[in-house]
Structure 1
Amino acid sequence: MTDETPAPADSALATRGVALDLLFNVLAKRVPFDDAWEGSRGLRALAPRDRAFTRLLVATTLRRLGQIDDAIQSMLTKQGQQLKAVVQDILRLGAAQLLFLGTPAHAAVDTAVELAVARRQHPYKGLINAILRRLDRERDAILAAQDAGRLNTPDWLWLSWRKTYGTALTRAIVETHLAEAPLDITVKGDAGAWAGRLEAVPLPTGSLRRTAGGQVTELSGFDEGGWWVQDAAAAIPARLFGNLTGRTAIDLCAAPGGKTAQLAAAGAQVTAVDRSDRRLARLTENMARLDLAGQVATIVADATEWRPAAPVDAVLLDAPCSATGTIRRHPDVARLKTEEDVEKLARIQSRLLYRAVDMLKPGGTLVYCTCSLQPEEGENQITNLLYRRPEMVIEPVTPDEVGGLTDLLTGDGFVRCTPGHLAEQGGMDGFFAARLRRTG
């Protein structure tokens, strides 16, 4: 089936059915959205336009889940009334269409009722119909009365960010999460020339930015390997090494390879280490497309145990983390990660940091980074490392290395990006990065 082929009469119902299954897998089975998407058999039967709508529908439902649940609860006649999980999810999908996607009421309501019948929830047809029609009628009043940013942010994240960043910056963070992230691009060559070809806007940090949408693979220069997709914040850490011509570098936890590509493009001979052979295979494909394969060796290994044959000049550790800085791109993170996850991941990050130090030559440079807004996974890790490994010293990042954006730098010379930065240009992911040097 192609985009031009008329969809079957039940394509709308089939699309909502796939969306319902995806939402269940994320919220009930706690499967990351991207993994649930890749594993969905139902998607294969949908036309491309229906797959695109399915992704938009589920992502919007996850992004606005707090508002949606608040609106649904306000429609129930019994305070605190609990609904069956499948009925709740059908209502959530219907509400997302009515409140945020502009789907005509007849389409959103009728398919929700049909979906209830298809999933053997006949007794709830009337309730679903009544709630969704009322949501449609009262849409403007409902949205005007809601505190969108706060409702869509789990309590533990809100309290953590408010303690760390203050109320004003926390507000900026959660408001940025309400919108889909733009498309950021890192180029190998002249960013100015590529900006014209890609109809993109240059950012102060060196990345190019386009409005999200369309097929990335169809953009100018993709097939010739001139660039790769990488959030502006994620592109900063690898740039902190500067020119690496003739130097050796290790990229730990490397897949899918955006930072590996940056290191290789900067002239390094790179060893990319990741514990997932599947993810490393994708990295290898990316390096081939970018014509950087000759500078990159890959190793499948657990970075907490692996050792290089000889110390190297540079180590980049983009450690596994809670990813709370990427919620605008991955709204499921807010629903899947917990405080306990942060504690567990912080212990892994500490082990990786100590191993990374041992991989460096005297005088070598270590850049540690995480796409997390939690200080336990950023600043606190460096404080602990400096206490235990006195041979490591901070090399402060300077304003010119981040495009003059001094508000991205902390007093200690670390990079601390939040989604509230560059808000007028569409924001950026939350990221932490620190640069350290190993003394003799």
Structure 2
Amino acid sequence: MPPSKFALQTEVPGLAARRIAADIIDNVLLRRRALDDQLDGVSAHPAVKTLSDRDRALMRRLAATVLRRLGTLRFILSRLLDRGTPTDSQRAETALLLGAAQILWMEVPDHAAVDLSVRLVQADRRAAKYVGLVNAVLRRCARDGQALSEEAGQHVVDVAPWLFQRWSAHYGETTARAITAAIHHEPALDITVKANAQAWATRLHGELLPTGSIRTLLHGAVTLLPGFDEGNWWVQDAAAALPVRLFGDLRGKTVADLCAAPGGKTAQLAHAGAIVTAVDRSPARIRRLRDNLSRLALSAEVVVADADEWQHEPFDAILLDAPCTATGTIRRHPDIGWLKQDSDVAALTGLQQRLLNKAVSLLKPGGTLVYCTCSLEPEEGEQAVERLLAEETSLRRVPVDPSEIAGLDELISPAGDLRTLPNHLARPDPRLAGLDGFYAARLIKA
């Protein structure tokens, strides 16, 4: 992007972060571009690298807060706008969303939130005519927004309607609302450690969860935290760390980790003493997996291949963390509900079934298959396993025992599988609560 477009940013502190946040929000909602892709890597927004670390963190929080609270924000603005949201200027609407989000949920003075949103529309040719409107509406928001936010809680949810309808149908409306409430809070940082978990919890100013993960509210560059360079731990949501526990003792066993990148579960398997073969189709993601294993001083054979076409002699155990809609990670990726569509679920179930069939063919008699997805959709979890069991008579389900998951029996489905939800693991401080939504089933081959 030409530097001239960002010339105004250097004159007003905080404007650059807000302008980039506005671009990113527009790209998510209009162009279906993932939030994380715009923050880092080759497809990142070209101006991200011009921000200081502090402004980069602010920019990310601005974008994420709008996406977490989009339903509520649109409800509030509908009450504050006499003629509705401007239809001929996306930047005007985005400036309103950003301003209202700062007023209601961020530690930004109201006058600064209003002023910087006004400057956003001033700098946009199509939006400039709405300067007065943005100024007036956000001033009203500072006065009446909190009451309207409470009213919104009775009428709207901050998730795409298609997702809420699905969750209500499968889990019940009460649980669906609890899931959406959990999405409001930016999740804490979860860490899996090699050893001395309590000592590391103290050192990282966190708490040791019943499952063995460490949860901390520390934010910022993970690479700068104690123990990272030394390979003492890796970042992994507490729910994502549970499926590997279903294998039991893995010492000396051959294990295939299919769809393995970025490698958190590969690291768990290797650390548990397994002889691991990690397979993933993406060379870029495999490079990240190799880097993680190197930092952690853990070893695995790494293969770049399509798992559903890969050939190998049978393994003692197989972990299949299948590609999915990832709706269970919506706490960490609030753009997911706005990027995905209902049709995406059906599009992925065929791939998941092929991968399951391949996993069965790669499993020794008596071997254990753990299938998991970070999805809340039953087609990608419970129903996929039921279809497989109906087709593969050599398989039987081994239910999860509460003792295997720290006695947290609420995480076990009626069929005996692992099913975590974003509203699980309640805590008095909501910032320390919640889990990614995960499903896992353990199957034994006769």
Cα pair 1:153 1:334 within 8 Å, conserved: yes
Aligned to 1:333: 336
* Aligned twin of 1:313: 316
State which of 298, 304, 316 in structure 1 corresponds to 2:308. 304
* 1:434 pairs with 2:441: yes
The aligned residue for residue 426 of structure 2 is: 423
C-alpha distance in 2 between matches for 1:212 and 1:329: 15
Name structure 2 gaps, 5 residues minimum. 1-8
CA distance in 1, matches of 2:50, 2:155: 36
The one-letter amino acid paired with 1:357 is: V
Structure 1 position 376, deviation (Å):
0.6
In the TM superposition, residue 98 of structure 1 has moved relative to its aligned partner by 1.3
Instruction: Map residues 140-179 of structure 1 onto 2, 5 A cutoff.
Output: 140-147=146-153, 150-179=156-185
TM-score, scaled relative to structure 2: 0.93
State yes or no: 1:400 paired with 2:403: yes
SS of 1:223's partner is: coil
Match of 1:26 in 2: 28
For residues 198-237 of structure 1, what are the structure 2 equivalents within 5 Å? 198-237=204-243
- The range that moved more, 78-87 or 97-106, is 78-87
Q: Distance in 2 between matches of 1:410 and 1:105?
A: 46
CA distance in 2 between partners of 1:238 and 1:307 (Å): 23
Question: Residues of 2 paired with 1:212 and 1:334: CA distance?
Answer: 26
Structure 2 letter corresponding to 1:365: T
1:127 to 133, 154, 161: 133
What amino acid does structure 2 have at the position aligned with 1:380?
Answer: Q
1: CA distance, partners of 2:426 / 2:87: 38
For 1:148 and 1:195, locate their aligned partners in 2 and report how far apart those are by CA, in whole Å. Answer: 39
Distance in 2, Cα, partners of 1:198 & 1:91: 38
Listed one character per residue, the Cα deviations across residues 160-179 of structure 1 (whole Å, up to 9, x for unaligned) are 11121122222221111111
Alpha-carbon distance, 1:53 to partner: 0.4
Q: Give 1:418's aligned amino acid.
A: L
Structure 1 residues 213 and 88, CA, compared in 2 at 3 Å: closer, same or farther? same
Q: Is the 8 A contact 1:26 1:36 kept in 2?
A: no
Report if the CA contact (8 A) 1:317-1:367 is conserved: yes
Is residue 2:399 matched to residue 1:381? no
> How far off its partner does 1:212 sit?
4.4
Question: Per-residue displacement from partner, 1:141-186 (whole Å, max 9, x unpaired)?
Answer: 2122121794202222112111211222222211111111111111
Distance 1:386 1:122 in 2: 60
d(CA) in 2 for partners of 1:336 and 1:322? 10
Displacement of 1:73 after TM fit?
A: 1.5
Check 1:46–1:148 CA distance in 2 against 1; reply closer, same or farther (3 A cut).
farther
**AA matched with 1:189:** A
Q: Alignment partner of 1:147: what SS?
A: helix
What code does the residue aligned with 1:299 have?
Answer: V
Corresponding position: 1:356 with 2:359: yes
Name the CA distance, whole Å, in 2 between partners of 1:408 and 1:149.
Answer: 29
Q: 8 Å contact 1:251–1:272 — kept in the other structure?
A: yes
Distance (whole Å) between structure 1 residues aligned to residue 33 and residue 247 of structure 2: 35
Distance 1:392 1:414 in 2: 15
Corresponding residue SS for 2:119: helix
Q: Does 1:347 align with 2:350?
A: yes
AA partner of residue 23 (structure 1): I
> Which residue is equivalent to 1:3?
none
- What's the offset of the Cα at 1:79? 5.4
Aligned-residue offset at 1:270: 1.1
CA drift of 1:190 comes to 2.7
1:149/1:63 CA distance change after superposition, 3 Å? farther
Q: Distance in 2 between matches of 1:101 and 1:192?
A: 32
Contact 2:77 2:85 in 1 (8 A): no
Pick the aligned partner of 2:18 from 16, 19, 26.
Answer: 16
Secondary structure of the residue aligned to 2:284 is helix
CA 1:212 to 1:172, structure 2 compared with 1: closer, same or farther past 3 Å? farther
- Post-superposition offset of 1:273: 1.0
How far off is 1:28 after superposition?
1.0
Equivalences for residues 83-162 of structure 1 within 5 A: 84-120=89-125, 121-147=127-153, 150-162=156-168
Task: Please give the alpha-carbon distance, in whole angstroms, between the structure 2 residues aligned to 1:260 and 1:181.
Answer: 23
Contact 1:176 1:423 in 2 (8 A): no
Q: Which amino acid aligns with 2:402?
A: P
Provide the C-alpha distance between the structure 1 equivalents of 2:351 and 2:23, rounded to a whole number of angstroms: 33
Gaps of 5+ in 1: 1-6
CA contact (8 A) 1:392 1:437 kept: yes
- Give the conservation status (yes or no) of the 8 Å contact 2:86–2:92: no
What is the CA deviation profile of residues 304-363 of structure 1, one whole-angstrom value per residue up to 9, with x for unaligned ones?
A: 21122x111111111111111111111001111111011111111111111111111111
1:233-252 to 2 correspondences below 5 Å: 233-252=239-258
**Separation in structure 1 between the aligned mates of residue 247 and residue 155 of structure 2, nearest angstrom:** 36
Which residue in the other structure is 1:52 paired with? 57
Q: Would the aligned equivalents of 1:149 and 1:174 in 2 still touch at CA under 8 Å?
A: no
Match of 1:280 in 2: 286
The Cα shift of 1:237 comes to 0.4
1:4 matched to which residue of 2? none
From 40, 48, 66, the counterpart of 1:43? 48
Equivalents in 1 of 2:193, 2:182: separation in Å? 25
Q: Which runs of 4+ in 1 moved over 6 A?
A: none
RMSD between aligned residues: 1.6
Name the CA shift for 1:11/1:44 in 2 (closer, same or farther; >3 Å): farther
